Structure 1
Amino acid sequence: MEERDRISELPADILDKIMGKLWIEEAATMAVLNTVWRDAWYSLTEVAFDASFHYILYCDFIKNPDKWHDIVNDYFKKHNGNIKRFDMYFGQQVYRGDFDKLFLSVTKKGVQELDLQIYSDDDRNYRLPPCILKCSTLKTFYACGVKIDQITPRCMFPNVTFLSFDLVHFGASSLQHHAVDLPKLQRLTFSRCTDISHFNITAPKLGILSIEKCYISGDDDVEEEEEDDYYSDDDERDSDDSCSSGGDDNNDMFCYNPTNEKDKPVGGFLPANLDLGSVSRLHLCCNAIWGVVDDFGRKGLQMPMLDVKYLNLSAPWIRLAYLW
């Protein structure tokens, strides 16, 4: 009996789902062996250059970091169609500041979910380009190890419903005195972030808020960026773990403590214009509890004004959950 490739006879949308679930090495191998699979490979709606991709070529990355960029750029030059979800993880070995053009291509392909994770041993945080902030199709965005500062867009995350920030640094920006409305945001999480008060937003539909192990910069000097207008409206270029109350000599960062008046920033712990009245599920860690309570106290608001149905309080020594 003649052997037949019955999988290749499946509808294109089924092939897309199969290829999207394969490890990137397996998907690339299938694309090389079969022309039908090759077409599916270059029209995937879910693309992931994730940890498995890094593991496969780890040694090559160290010897030649450009190889990573060449592979990714070559793929997107040949890709046709829309991309619904894009995951990209990279570390210090492949870090370079030329990803803006890549993300511009992704945002033009109708991306709805974006997972960007950067792992670096130094302070070279990647600054989010304007094309991501302004992407009108983006609905879910997970960012790890990036920097958000000098933001002055008229429109930011216009259709995003879920934002998750991990190890993100929010630098001083013009948003300190001008809040940006995120009309569709329903869920917002901060984990191990710095200066979340600089992320000055309003979110009338926000229902879930989580703040865990976030900190305030102790340095009053704001580092000036090389390009002050990096996030201007006209920019369309293509291109440690737990809270500790003392004994730490690291003055750059500290857990929030409302009794530390001399170090308390003017903007407080939370974004100044973020109204928690719509939040029904609230998760706070130890230092976030201090920050939120103190912010409400300074604004003259009473905590019972919150309409929280589920409250989760966590600390190194205790974890409480309340359900009303």
Structure 2
Amino acid sequence: MKRKRPTFQVENNGKRRRRKCWDEYNKLDRISALPDDILVYLVSRLPLKEAVATSVLSRRWQNVGLSTKTLRFDAVDFSVYNNFRRYWPDRPEEFIEQESWKYINWVNHVLQQHRGKHVEEFRVSFCLDGRFSSSINRWIQFAMENRVEMLELDFYPEAFLRFGFEDYKFPHKLLGICIPSLGSCGYNIGFKSLKVLQIRHVGVTGEVLEYFLSSCPLLERLSVSYTQDLVNLRVIGPSIALKYLVIKDCDNLKSIEIRDVNIVSFIYYGYRSTNLVISNVPLLTEVSVSKETWKKEFIRDFFTQCCLCNIEILKLHIHGASYDEYPALPLLASLKHLELQVVANYNRALHHLYTFLKSSPYLLRLVLKLQLLQGGPSCPEIGDIKKAPDCPHNHLKVVEIAGFRAHLSGVEHVMYLIKNVASLEKIVIDPVRRWRYPPNGVNRPATELNKEVEARYHASQNLKPKIPATIEYVCL
């Protein structure tokens, strides 16, 4: 017998759908009743494409959606960006050119429609170079005229390197400055509202950055990465508002001088030729320095030229550094957190620990990032770890050994600390070398994963049994 169609279920489902639509309409109606300022605030928290899409809801929402205060033109949000790797092997130059112009047209279209008078954040991130200067200049001028607070120019032209294109050069005229050495004066516009500036793969000189610092009274955060034009940088004067400075991978940078400023944090990743000078910085509490150098005198020169008397967090990459038999480092009485990236199988590696423990009597947390080297003409002397003098320490509580490997040098580092640190409460063993595989060590090759498995087993067999029961042992 043929069954009847359950019409009541269809009717009920239809009612539910109509009810849901009606509820959504009521929600939108209630939201639309809010003042414009609140609506603009809410829309500005949406991704850019979603914020602009709200403009189709009604005439009022058109004004709201096109007045968003957050303009993030990220490459990952660009509709055709996902095809980049697919077409890259066949016609790289043609494809990059095509995608770059599509990205530029997208940005231009949004900016032409934008109706706001104030921009909190303006970010452009795509593979662009100097050929697109005229468009990029207009974007920067737009950001200035809309009193931008956070400006990020992230151009990553690694794909252009094989074609010989140059980085985009920052237009110093737009700063409203006059630099005689550059032969031109500016338009007197300025970035009076700018608080954060981040630039990557942008041609910018030390003179331009210094004028930025002096001409932007609210600029507190400055980050500069991968620029070939930066040779010398001076951050000097109490009138400078800068609190956080990051300089990374500027190949031609010879010197950085930071003096008489209220800077709080300084991060530097660079090369052997850069000379660092830091003095009269009473508020400086965090310093991170990673230099790709094998210069043995690095530690001595660093502490001679940099006054770090109030430092609380210190991170140093000291692969090639070595010490005299009795090194004299300054007293770091405020230091609470220390990270050292060291060569674990260097025959005087334990002297690294002795030196820093002695100069940091109130240290609470120590992180050792261990690197094992196999020898070679540029490597420091490698062999059996030589015994270091005892250095009793009464405040250190937590020790983390990152990049631990199945090698006795790692065990010797831990045993030295257990012997000398009476206050030790916790030891963390982490075989993952997260500093080599950001973010957080993901996408590591199979060979690296195998070494990590071997390291965990080595730690369980050769280290864990030697740790006293009063100390917590954690292996990640």
Question: Shorter-chain TM-score: what band?
Answer: 0.5 to 0.7
Instruction: Choose the corresponding residue for 2:105, options 57, 70, 73.
Output: 70
Counterpart position of 1:269: 275
Residues 180, 277 of structure 1: alpha-carbon distance in 2 compared, 3 angstrom cutoff: closer
Counterpart position of 1:227: none
The offset of 1:204, in angstroms, is 0.8
Counterpart position of 1:165: 224
The one-letter amino acid of 1:165's match is V
SS of residue paired to 1:184 = coil
CA distance in 1, matches of 2:343, 2:245: 25
Please give the TM-score of this superposition, normalised by the length of structure 2: 0.47
The one-letter amino acid of 2:39's match is L
Compare CA radii of gyration and give the structure with the larger one.
Answer: 2
CA distance in 2, matches of 1:277, 1:289: 28
Q: Does 1:148 align with 2:183?
A: no
The offset of 1:197, in angstroms, is 3.7
CA distance in 2, matches of 1:39, 1:61: 34
Contact residue 164 and residue 190 of structure 1 kept, 8 A: yes
The one-letter amino acid of 1:96's match is F
* 1:99-248 matches, cutoff 5 A: 99-121=136-158, 122=161, 124-130=166-172, 131=174, 134-149=190-205, 151=207, 155-157=211-213, 158-159=216-217, 160-172=219-231, 181=237, 183-197=240-254, 202=259, 204-212=261-269, 214-215=270-271
The offset of 1:34, in angstroms, is 3.1
Greater relative CO (CA pairs within 8 A, separation 6+): 1
CA distance in 2, matches of 1:32, 1:308: 53
Instruction: Choose the corresponding residue for 1:280, options 263, 279, 285.
Output: 285
Which structure has the highest helix share of the two? 2
Q: Does 1:39 align with 2:63?
A: yes
The offset of 1:140, in angstroms, is 0.9
Q: Does 1:85 align with 2:90?
A: no
The one-letter amino acid of 2:315's match is N
Counterpart position of 1:51: 75
Q: Deviation per CA, 1:50-71: give whole Å up to 9, x if none.
A: 1333245666975364333233
CA distance in 1, matches of 2:102, 2:250: 31
CA distance in 1, matches of 2:286, 2:107: 39
Residues 38, 95 of structure 1: alpha-carbon distance in 2 compared, 3 angstrom cutoff: farther
The one-letter amino acid of 2:78's match is H
Q: Deviation per CA, 1:150-188: give whole Å up to 9, x if none.
A: 73688322321111222233434xx67x87646111111
CA distance in 2, matches of 1:316, 1:56: 43
CA distance in 1, matches of 2:198, 2:98: 29
The one-letter amino acid of 2:275's match is F
CA distance in 1, matches of 2:307, 2:48: 50
SS of residue paired to 2:148 = coil
Contact residue 118 and residue 144 of structure 1 kept, 8 A: yes
Contact residue 235 and residue 258 of structure 2 kept, 8 A: yes
Counterpart position of 1:16: 40
Which ranges of structure 1 fall in alignment gaps of 5 or more residues?
216-255, 257-263
The offset of 1:101, in angstroms, is 2.0
Q: Deviation per CA, 1:216-260: give whole Å up to 9, x if none.
A: xxxxxxxxxxxxxxxxxxxxxxxxxxxxxxxxxxxxxxxx1xxxx
Aligned pairs, how many?
265
Contact residue 144 and residue 168 of structure 1 kept, 8 A: yes
Contact residue 61 and residue 94 of structure 1 kept, 8 A: no
SS of residue paired to 1:190 = strand
Identity %: 18
Residues 153, 166 of structure 1: alpha-carbon distance in 2 compared, 3 angstrom cutoff: closer
The one-letter amino acid of 1:269's match is N
CA distance in 2, matches of 1:179, 1:145: 21
Deviates more, 1:145-154 or 1:278-287: 145-154
Please give the TM-score of this superposition, normalised by the length of structure 1: 0.66
Q: Does 1:30 align with 2:54?
A: yes
Q: Deviation per CA, 1:178-226: give whole Å up to 9, x if none.
A: 87646111111122232344566656111211112x13xxxxxxxxxxx
Counterpart position of 1:239: none
